[in-house]
Amino acid sequence: MKYLVGLYLVLFFQAALATECRLDGAGEWVDVRTRNIFVDATLQVQPGGRVIAAGYNLECRHRFEWGLPGNAEDYIETQTGAFSPLPIIIEYTNGLVIHGNEYVSPVTPWVRIANLRAAPNSNIQNLNTYVFFKTTPAPSGGYLHIRPSAFLGTIKLWVINNAGLSSRPAFYFNVYVFAKNEFNLSPLTCTINNNQPMTIDFGPVAPLAIGQSPVGSSIEKFQTLYYSCPNAGINSPITISLRGPAAVFNSNLLGTNNPKLGVGLFRGTTLVAPNGVFTTSISNSIGSDSVMFKLVREPGSFPAAGDFSGNATLVLGVP
């Protein structure tokens, strides 16, 4: 009978030797010696193009144990290769932010994250350890699109202690990080002038005052094109394509409902023909260009008086 009681006590004490963690100050305490942690992190853009996967609190404590010295502590530290990113972000500069300090992959081992005291002086500590990656500089052609529930990578930690007991060996545990929200760094999410229509009104003009060539016409209107993206951190070359019918008398001009009139689009000194394209760029999700529209008449013609109209579309793309 004494043997059975002794066996029962051994099992009891073995089960009590552990560090425990919980999420967001609620829910059950998890014995991280036997179970890993799974977190849903909110992707947040910070200055300088850094994206941090945060929005959660991971708290840990030293669970009460009998027979430990009063100064007993558990230490949570980084393992070698403490962050293992998934291919979705591996091409970007990445790593961990630990208590506000940035550690770029491969993350240094032995970074102390928490000192957990044993009872009766036990304490709860927030690990404040988060995955990050940087969108600047971005890999060539690397347009990142992270969807909700996408797996970002694994934070690899271990627990050591100062008790010096063979019954309390160091052990490892992992924190698996998933995206809680969508995050899209593709330039194809960006818009021109917030997708609002642009009206180019030349006003009243005398027919003979309209130039007979795109370069020579003095009837012109400037228009600023503003490029903006829903997520910060997009840095990329982009293309702007002009889509619309060509004028009957000149394929480099946009056609109108007056067959004797056409409209030329200039970026700088370059004439952009219908279905033509020019290249520009977006920096930290914004950009702009000034373009000029010129009214042109068919050489030798006298356009009929009255209102005229034409339609075209500017399309933002990638090279």
Cα separation, 199 vs 106, whole angstroms: 53
Per the omega criterion (within 30 degrees of 0), is the bond before 47 cis? no
Residue indicated by tokens 């600047």 = 136
Confidence band (pLDDT; 50, 70, 90) for 162?
confident
What's residue 142's pLDDT? 59
- Mean pLDDT, range 82-97, rounded to an integer: 92
Q: pLDDT digits over 207-265, tens only?
A: 899 999 999 899 999 999 999 998 777 888 899 999 999 999 999 999 999 999 999 99
Amino acid at residue number 22: R
- Contact between residue 152 and residue 131 where contact means Cβ atoms under 8 Å apart: yes
Percentage of the chain exceeding pLDDT 70: 87
134: tokens are 């940087």
Q: pLDDT digits over 106-154, tens only?
A: 999 999 999 998 766 678 999 999 999 988 766 655 578 899 999 999 9
Q: pLDDT digits over 5-43, tens only?
A: 444 434 333 434 468 999 999 888 999 999 999 999 999
pLDDT, the chain, mean? 88
Among residues 52, 235, 49, the alpha carbon closest in space to that of 142 is found at 235
What's residue 168's pLDDT? 67
- 116 vs 3, 57, 129, 223, 297, CA distance in Å? 34, 16, 16, 62, 81
Cα separation, 261 vs 157, whole angstroms: 71
What's residue 304's pLDDT? 87
Residue indicated by tokens 């977190």 = 39
Residue indicated by tokens 């400037």 = 222
* 82 CB-contact burial (10 Å; exposed 0-12 / middle 13-18 / buried 19+): buried
Domains of the chain: 17-185 (2.60.40.1090), 188-317 (2.60.40.1090)
Strand ranges (DSSP E) for 63-190?
73-85, 93-98, 101-104, 112-117, 124-126, 129-134, 145-146, 151-161, 171-179, 183-184
- Mean pLDDT, range 176-204, rounded to an integer: 93
Q: Which secondary structure element, helix H or strand E, spans residue 89, and what is its range?
A: helix 87-90
Q: Which secondary structure element, helix H or strand E, spans residue 4, and what is its range?
A: helix 2-16
Report pTM: 0.71
Going by the DSSP 8-state scheme, the letter that residue 203 receives in this structure is -
- Contact between residue 131 and residue 32 where contact means Cβ atoms under 8 Å apart: no
Of the two residues 245 and 162, the one the predictor is more confident about is 245
Q: Which residues contact 91 (CB under 8 A, 6 or more apart)?
A: 139, 142
